[in-house]
Structure 1
């Protein structure tokens, strides 16, 4: 029986060339030519499969470039078997005794495509998914109805390949799902401050060394100006008096002040994007921040306003996973600093960043704050300020209370486009008034008709799945009795009141 040598690697080919001498040197160029020949065949096999090749003439040598990908079993001089061993690509060349190329092929080994296609057809009969393998990489293409079907297909293929193959998922959704996110940032801040202070200032006729009159004072509270005209700070009630006590001129003032403030903030940004994409929104501006250094003065700009950034992913049964960041910031004089004679303002910020999952049209409070601050201070003259009743003239009392309640609520919607005629803008129906309307009626702008803008349109739930929003919404308990105690208990909730 004629022996056929099989070369499995480049190193073995070098050793064989040195052993065969001149004959091998003539044969090897033929092998190199076969590897680059245009008529080289492409053999695609699944791991663990094989293919029989019938040759047109008798061969004497077989070269396998990468034996870890595929191997060759020689049955006879005119018949070989190609066996797939591992993922990848290799070349096989078979030559005769004269060094002529009898057979040349590129062998591509990957996962069992037939089994993968059958598995996907059973698991997802309505999906149109194509599978391609190359060099240990499985590429999934096609279209599905729901985004979760694409991830399910990738998981099935990864499990089938035992996690050894790299999965490239290029499956697209037939109809891209769009999500509109509405954010409500509601804040109420209340403040109440009270101050009670007494001033007592006395003097005696006479001058000091400089010729100026001299006075002595006890227990200063709020400063005031003496003379023919007396001025007091705003928002105060001052009781003043001037007289003599033991031959000494005495000027006294008793100040009362109370100030209440209320700040309400409501921001309602909303933004629409496609599932899996990130969207950003900013309504505000920038203010300059001046910084000084050895090289001079530089100006940087700080953003403020209402911003919204979120990334939605539509999950099974229409539920939505949201990575959301919402921020509301304002310029504030509190905390401002002075740099080089210029005042650099500060900003007050309300921000929340989190990841939640909820259904279309469902709302969730992602952040909240309930703050109650109380400050009280007493300034007095030691000893004299502790005297009952009379000591009130020698001390100052300050009391301040700040209360803040903040809530951030988000509501996502699966939405679909509408016709242009169904969209109403804030400027619809607004026109400038004429001179007669401005002068006689006091109108600056006139708006005709009811231009209520529609809410987002909720897309229908996926067919065949459970009803969207299967999570039951908690309904608020209503008062059962029409009495004052029950009604007061029913409306009680987070917050503060100055009535207590």
Structure 2
């Protein structure tokens, strides 16, 4: 009787030990002790793990693949002695060791889940370190049959201790087509074909043909030149602007965190009438955007190397397929989209050209008010553009910027002026007041 009581107590203690289940890595094993030797044991899903026993009180569990199953132990009377969840997860010991070798000073935690995922948490010093660790985790899971084999994913929850910020300097310019003669390019149209997207590095403008320039654009450097002379592309644009060789239509400056999105719209909105189905004859006004829409996603890779995803969408008003609603003509939209990914160092530039089709010039004459929209309105008013003598070009230069650790100050900070001098200064400079 005493032995039976002690057996029940030990059985209850054993069940409590495994109440939360067991977690085993793939290709690893675990032993489970039971109180009854003569019993029936089985797994709900034998494809996840194997079990063996030597008719003693010990059960050997070996993990086969990522997943979850349940171990049942039933005694001779059909009573369930034990019901224990078995969680099989990826083996992350190898990954932890590899991370400690390539990034010994980073605080990274690696957790494997029963859903075949690996979570990366902690804080790293730079985005390129985070990218290397994530790539290492992806490769390790693939070798284990996880990501790409078993559907598992690497969940990146790592934080950057000092997040990188990318400053995008954008110049929207109207460029003279015959400027190729000044630059020594014989075939400018090969580079800027109206109506076709072109994205390339704006750096190798030298003596030669535009086709040669386009072919070498992928390996371009950050400057332009003729012979041995070189310029920074933005300085060259400013010089051309001063000499009326081009017109700068807009200079938006965008700043985005590494991996975040920055957008810019050169265009406007036009109203359309939308009938209301529930009220007879009732309409509302809805505004649709049109123009040149740019979307940038800059990501700092390593050092000052920036990976830049560029998405360009051009929506042009068209008189084709226009409809009439309540006596008003509503123009249609023609939309074209291009996406690309480029890599360049901080301070290097690339250009986007050939955005607008030739028929936009006919649309300008047919649809009033296009000359009043921001940025593109000035282009549409240009006589040279309507005469097909100029081209719309967008030049983008990303810069890696870092916030200052020291408080920023103006040149006037810390200046102490006498009352008379302060009064005179405030009188000479309206809306500026210097206090002691």
The aligned runs of 1:91-490 (5 Å cut-off) are: 91-142=70-121, 143-147=123-127, 148-163=131-146, 164-165=149-150, 166-174=152-160, 175-188=162-175, 264-282=247-265, 285-289=268-272, 299-303=285-289, 308-325=294-311, 354-367=340-353, 402-418=388-404, 421=408
Are the counterparts in 2 of residues 368 and 408 from structure 1 also a CA contact under 8 Å?
A: no
Deviations 1:270-322 (A, max 9, x none): 21122222233447653435699996876443436775421122223332122
Deviations 1:367-387 (A, max 9, x none): 2689999xxxxxxxxxxxxxx
Query: CA separation of 1:359/1:367 partners in 2, compared to 1, >3 Å: closer, same or farther?
Result: same
Among 60, 72, 76, the residue aligned to 2:39? 60
The answer on 1:49 being equivalent to 2:25 is: no
* d(CA) in 1 for partners of 2:64, 2:348: 53
More strand by share: 1
* d(CA) in 2 for partners of 1:348, 1:88: 50
* d(CA) in 1 for partners of 2:101, 2:389: 61
TM (normalized to structure 2)? 0.54
- Structure 2 gaps of 5+ residues are 1-11, 179-243, 360-385, 412-427
Which residue does the alignment assign to 1:387?
none
Local SS of the residue matching 1:125: coil
Aligned length: 300
TM (normalized to structure 1)? 0.48
* d(CA) in 2 for partners of 1:65, 1:330: 62
Which residue does the alignment assign to 1:486?
none
Are the counterparts in 1 of residues 95 and 136 from structure 2 also a CA contact under 8 Å?
A: no
Query: CA separation of 1:330/1:48 partners in 2, compared to 1, >3 Å: closer, same or farther?
Result: closer
- Structure 1 gaps of 5+ residues are 1-32, 192-260, 374-399, 425-444, 450-500
* d(CA) in 2 for partners of 1:407, 1:150: 39
Q: CA deviation at 1:411?
A: 0.7
Higher relative contact order (CA 8 A, sep 6+): 2
* d(CA) in 1 for partners of 2:46, 2:334: 68
Find the structure with the greater CA-based Rg: 1
Local SS of the residue matching 1:76: coil
Local SS of the residue matching 1:61: strand
